[in-house]
């Protein structure tokens, strides 16, 4: 039955006039991959944030979708915190004034990521470079505008594709003529408005999609408009709630609405729940060690415990905060 489901899934993809390559990058813990989903988030933290993640959907289904990614993002500029520096003054308000003036300085974010997505016969690798320009509105709020540039390679294993009539199927024959290997140039763009505890952002991914050759035109990349927002609510001196929302609409006619809430306990552990389209629920937990290293795990299943395909999704993300001399926390999650 599971093999039949996989064949039907591939068949549905092939019946479109142009096959959408694999869908854009997507993981359950969207709040940990903000700069991948929206380049405007590049450089929001005062350290270099490195992440390695893996997600496997529909466990138990043959050739089930999986995503692997490696990312690194940081900011360029003066990261001196006068509250933690040797500076001494008889007027504490002077430090707050200096910090407020520092917050008005424009800054740059840089970074990049590589993703590998596998789904049945489709295997896609993306290599992207991000840049963002952060503009202060006042001493508390900034706006960041970002872009991502890179290449995408889609490889199709023709041996894994099942169609009723290979000789007369136009889409299948276009794959054969293209040798099942396609290259594209991609560019995305996004913007974010954020402060110390809240953010709202929107992006369009990809904004530009250019095939390298005429044979590469057989595949049309899925385009997405992505919006997300979140905040932090202090409960007491060592606990805070972190609610967030996420919405995306794609050119393939699909949409997704996600609501999430995390409980940050003394910056050590964050249990949370995520609800997607009122039908999929995720249970997740993240651990943080001295703002240097972190690990998180997420399990997603159908609401009510029933799964139509496979046995849920498992996701693991490892994080490393490099050059974090000020022992800063993640700003937005």
Looking at the predicted structure, is the pLDDT value of residue 110 above 90? yes
Quick check: is 10 in a domain? Answer: yes
Rg of the chain in Å (alpha carbons): 22
pLDDT for residue 281: 94
Quick check: is 332 in a domain? Answer: no
Domain extent at residue 95: 2-322
Quick check: is 166 in a domain? Answer: yes
Strand stretches in 27-83, DSSP E: 48-56, 66-76
Quick check: is 123 in a domain? Answer: yes
Query: How many domains is the chain partitioned into structurally?
Result: 1
Question: What is the tens place of the pLDDT at every residue in 135-160?
Answer: 999 989 999 999 999 999 988 887 77
- Is the Cβ–Cβ distance between 127 and 149 less than 8 Å? no
CA–CA dist 205, 226 (Å, integer): 8
Question: What is the tens place of the pLDDT at every residue in 186-207?
Answer: 999 999 999 999 999 999 999 9
Question: What is the tens place of the pLDDT at every residue in 263-301?
Answer: 999 999 999 999 999 999 999 999 999 999 999 999 999
Quick check: is 76 in a domain? Answer: yes
What's the CATH number where 279 sits?
2.40.160.40
Quickly count helices (H) and strands (E) in the chain.
4, 17
CA–CA dist 221, 293 (Å, integer): 35
Characterize 178-197 residue by residue with b for buried, 16 or more Cβ atoms within 10 angstroms of its Cβ, and e for exposed.
Answer: bebebebebbbbbbbbbbee
Q: Looking at residues 81-88, what average pLDDT do you find?
A: 44
Quick check: is 251 in a domain? Answer: yes
What's the pTM value of the predicted model, to 2 decimals?
A: 0.84
Split at pLDDT 50, 70, 90, the class of 208 is very high
Looking at the predicted structure, is the pLDDT value of residue 245 above 90? yes
pLDDT for residue 85: 43
Write the CA distances from 6 to 9, 157, 161, integer angstroms: 5, 14, 10
Quick check: is 333 in a domain? Answer: no
Split at pLDDT 50, 70, 90, the class of 222 is confident
Quick check: is 256 in a domain? Answer: yes
């Amino acid at each position: 039955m599971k093999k039949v489901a996989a064949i039907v899934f591939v068949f549905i993809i092939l019946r479109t006039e142009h096959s959408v390559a694999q869908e854009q990058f997507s993981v359950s813990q969207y709040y940990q991959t903000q700069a991948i989903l929206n380049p405007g988030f590049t450089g929001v933290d005062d350290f270099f944030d490195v992440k390695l993640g893996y997600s496997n959907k529909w466990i138990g289904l043959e050739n089930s979708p999986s995503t692997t990614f490696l990312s690194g993002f940081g900011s360029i500029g003066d990261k001196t915190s006068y509250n933690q520096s040797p500076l001494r003054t008889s007027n504490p308000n002077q430090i707050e004034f200096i910090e407020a003036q520092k917050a008005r300085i424009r800054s740059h974010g840089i970074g990049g990521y590589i993703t590998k997505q596998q789904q049945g016969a489709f295997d896609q690798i993306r290599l992207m470079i991000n840049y963002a320009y952060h503009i202060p509105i006042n001493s508390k709020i900034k706006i960041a505008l970002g872009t991502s540039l890179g290449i995408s390679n889609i490889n199709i294993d023709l041996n894994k594709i099942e169609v009723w009539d290979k000789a007369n199927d136009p889409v299948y024959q276009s794959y054969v003529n293209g040798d099942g290997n396609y290259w594209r140039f991609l560019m995305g763009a996004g913007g974010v408005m954020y402060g110390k505890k809240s953010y709202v952002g929107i992006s369009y991914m990809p904004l530009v999609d250019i095939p390298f050759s005429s044979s590469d035109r057989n595949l049309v990349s899925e385009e997405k408009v992505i919006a997300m927002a979140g905040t932090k609510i202090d409960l007491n001196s060592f606990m805070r709630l972190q609610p967030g929302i996420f919405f995306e609409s794609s050119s393939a006619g699909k949409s997704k609405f996600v609501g999430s809430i995390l409980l940050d306990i003394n910056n050590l552990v964050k249990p949370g729940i995520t609800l997607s389209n009122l039908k999929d629920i995720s249970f997740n937990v993240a651990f943080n060690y001295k703002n240097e290293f972190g690990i998180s795990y997420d399990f997603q299943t159908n609401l009510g415990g029933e799964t139509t395909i496979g046995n849920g999704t498992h996701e693991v993300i490892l994080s490393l905060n490099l050059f974090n001399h000020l022992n800063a926390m993640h700003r937005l999650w």
